[in-house]
Homo-oligomer: A and B are copies of this chain.
């Protein structure tokens, strides 16, 4: 069954709506004011909330809603839920206070009620739903506290609301755009597997990043993850890896994290990509968001030959080291190309891989090098330390043209300083991801070459 009612609802009720942003129910209502569909705030104490007619109860609303958001104390939730029969397709229970603090009985109760009355549940203890293409935003975080990323092709699926928020913050500062997001919390009903299935066919999404603490039905999870990763780029960050983290994950969502080694080896077996930590997740997501769609399909099994072009020797060495760690091959230049480059470049340039254009680099040197070597490599790491005068904003336009002609994966490392912000922004406009360290750039390229 499609989750369209969840990601593309026409009508939303908010149980626990408030008149003030001092309360979470007020923050959510404020965010819902942007939603293009119908919004019904429910709070028996008010006739009107933030300019909208307020309702006493679900049953007073003239239509059954697609989703009802519940932001009331856990103890009240079973009774609230019982009143949902025939009044809502799905309840998004955002409140905490369930299995994550040991209260399994009340969590089992809401699970049973949902089956009885035939209603789907997202949560409890969850962040809810976000659809950038429909101005749908159920988060209980005010926008002035958490900037929403620009519109884009990355979907975020996170068991933890906190991580979802952190990912949004980092996506925004990393200039990566978002399509949809879901925080599914304790997952008594709708879980990562069902969301994966839905996103497999979502035309707005090319990349799915997924933070998981625990998995309910392992077999189903693998099945859906496999399908998703065949159709889109899926990146999983699993936490609860060690004994400390596992205990923490259990107390956080009340589901067992399971033995990480098992999880890891199954993912590997099915070719599903995993990130080691938040940074790795972001590095890969950025590259896949920028160039993933065009590189999908035409990747070759052995296409791991990487050329590093740099204007700083040391940065090139660090990039080469990271290539080795990532299983990428920095094979040297063919002899005929060496000869040729020695003729066109000054004698002190390092004609190797990394190709070292030194501090005396000029913008056009990068282009000359790419022109000569584009057919000899599968991917390109370009390092531009913009603290020398030879690098200007013109480089962005030149690289853009070059990238279009070469049509292979290409990533940049641009160090801090000088024109770095402006240059990075221009290069990213040409759909080339820019990273703040040589190692991160290589990790980005790795995501495109595997």
Q: Residues of A at under 8 Å CB distance from B? A: 21-22, 24, 27, 74, 96-97, 100-101, 140-142, 144-147, 158-166, 168-170, 172-173, 211, 213, 239-245, 247-249, 251-253, 277-279, 308, 310-318, 320-325, 329-330, 332, 347-350, 352-354, 356, 358-360, 385-389, 415-420, 436-440
B244 contacts A321, C-beta separation under 8 Å? yes
CA distance A354 to B330 in the complex (A): 42
Which residue of the partner chain, among B74, B164, B244, B324, contacts A243 with CB atoms under 8 Å? B324
Chain B residues contacting A97 (CB-CB under 8 Å) are 347-348
Q: Determine how close the nearest CB of chain B comes to the CB of A23; give it in whole angstroms.
A: 9
Would you mind naming 18 contact pairs between A and B with Cβ atoms under 8 Å apart? A24-B359, A101-B348, A141-B388, A142-B418, A145-B417, A146-B418, A162-B385, A165-B387, A166-B315, A169-B420, A239-B314, A239-B321, A241-B325, A244-B330, A247-B332, A248-B317, A277-B318, A279-B279
CA distance A348 to B185 in the complex (A): 15
CA distance A140 to B311 in the complex (A): 14
Beyond A140-B359, A324-B242, A387-B146, whether A417 also contacts B318 by CB under 8 A is: no
CA distance A101 to B350 in the complex (A): 6
Which residue of the partner chain, among B244, B321, B418, contacts A241 with CB atoms under 8 Å? B321
CA distance A277 to B160 in the complex (A): 29
Known: A164-B314, A245-B317. 15 other contacts (CB 8 A): A101-B348, A142-B389, A144-B418, A162-B315, A165-B385, A166-B437, A168-B417, A211-B314, A241-B324, A247-B320, A248-B320, A248-B330, A249-B317, A277-B318, A278-B437
CA distance A290 to B240 in the complex (A): 30
Chain B residues contacting A158 (CB-CB under 8 Å) are 314
Beyond A101-B350, A169-B387, A347-B101, whether A417 also contacts B147 by CB under 8 A is: yes
B312 contacts A165, C-beta separation under 8 Å? yes
Chain B residues contacting A141 (CB-CB under 8 Å) are 359, 387-388
Beyond A163-B312, A278-B437, A359-B161, whether A317 also contacts B169 by CB under 8 A is: no
